């Protein structure tokens, strides 16, 4: 049983979960709580601790859930003088609360454990990502076949979202063996909140997949979420070079880079 915020934070990190830590960083005049008071907010609405109760706490809770969703910290400043003008209380002071999202390390999920998939696993792990491997062929989806991953999911692509929790911290790299596999598996993945869905292959292969997805009734807006052919243009040929191209695109999008040469 969790008995303190610090114990809860340890559990959140161990289980790769999300939350927001809210801390009173400034308190002037009469306010409900002193500097250092903390509240830990979970995505499901539960919370531990308090930053003052009442309307102030409700407002901080709302901001905490937004911070979790956006992955961005924020400083909230409230004057507690006149509720008629929108203040969250009448204590007479001012309070500042720092809201810090606690998010799991980003995860790259490689779907399709062929030569390119293995290279992506190796590179993504080296870059500091958590890495999972999925392949419907069990003999390809295990630590012996693909060393170094954090988790293995020997399921068909359409079942992956039922087995693995896919969040905004998830990057899906589809290195499957054909368009028919992609067309069967992508519809369910397109319903998730994954930050990135990339599919390997030529433009011709992707257009074949798009046609099949539309025939299944998948909306164009959903299909547009997919990066295919995925990766940056490096004229890559070997599995290792292709892996660099793919991970370069993921890093660029995650960190809002441009992909231009630095000298430009």
Q: What is the pTM of this model?
A: 0.81
Environment class of 146 (CB within 10 Å of its CB; exposed 0-12, middle 13-18, buried 19+): buried
Strand partners, 27: 95
Pull the structure tokens for residue 162.
């039922």
Q: What is the pLDDT of residues 179-231, one digit of tens each?
A: 999 999 999 999 999 999 999 999 999 999 999 999 999 999 999 999 999 99
- Going across the sheet that includes 196-199, the strands are 151-153, 130-134, 107-111, 170-174, 196-199, 226-227
Give me the domains of the chain, ranges plus CATH numbers: 5-102 (no CATH), 107-254 (3.40.50.720)
List pLDDT tens digits, range 131-186.
Answer: 999 999 999 999 999 999 999 999 999 999 999 989 889 999 999 999 999 999 99
């Amino acid at each position: 049983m969790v008995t303190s915020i610090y114990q809860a934070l340890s559990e959140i990190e161990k289980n790769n979960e999300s939350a927001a830590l809210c801390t009173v960083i400034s308190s002037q005049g009469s306010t409900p709580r002193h500097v250092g008071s903390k509240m830990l907010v979970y995505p499901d609405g539960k919370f531990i601790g308090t930053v003052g109760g009442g309307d102030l706490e409700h407002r901080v809770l709302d901001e905490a859930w937004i911070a979790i969703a956006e992955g961005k910290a924020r400083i909230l400043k409230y004057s507690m003088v006149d509720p008629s003008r929108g203040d969250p209380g009448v204590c007479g002071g001012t309070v500042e609360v720092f809201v810090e999202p606690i998010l799991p390390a980003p995860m790259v999920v490689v779907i399709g454990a062929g030569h390119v998939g293995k290279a992506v696993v190796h590179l993504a792990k080296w870059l500091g990502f958590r890495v999972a491997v999925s392949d419907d062929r069990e003999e390809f989806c295990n630590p012996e076949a693909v060393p170094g991953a954090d988790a293995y999911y020997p399921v068909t692509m359409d079942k992956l979202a039922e087995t693995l929790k896919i969040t905004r911290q998830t990057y899906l790299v589809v290195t499957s063996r054909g368009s028919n596999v992609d067309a069967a598996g992508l519809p369910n993945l397109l319903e998730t909140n994954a930050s990135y869905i990339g599919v390997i292959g030529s433009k011709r292969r992707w257009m074949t997949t798009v046609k099949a997805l539309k025939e299944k009734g998948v909306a164009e807006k959903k299909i547009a979420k997919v990066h295919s052919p995925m990766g940056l243009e490096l004229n890559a040929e070997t599995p290792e070079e292709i892996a660099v191209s793919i991970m370069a695109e993921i890093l660029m999008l995650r960190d809002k880079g441009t992909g231009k040469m630095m000298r430009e």
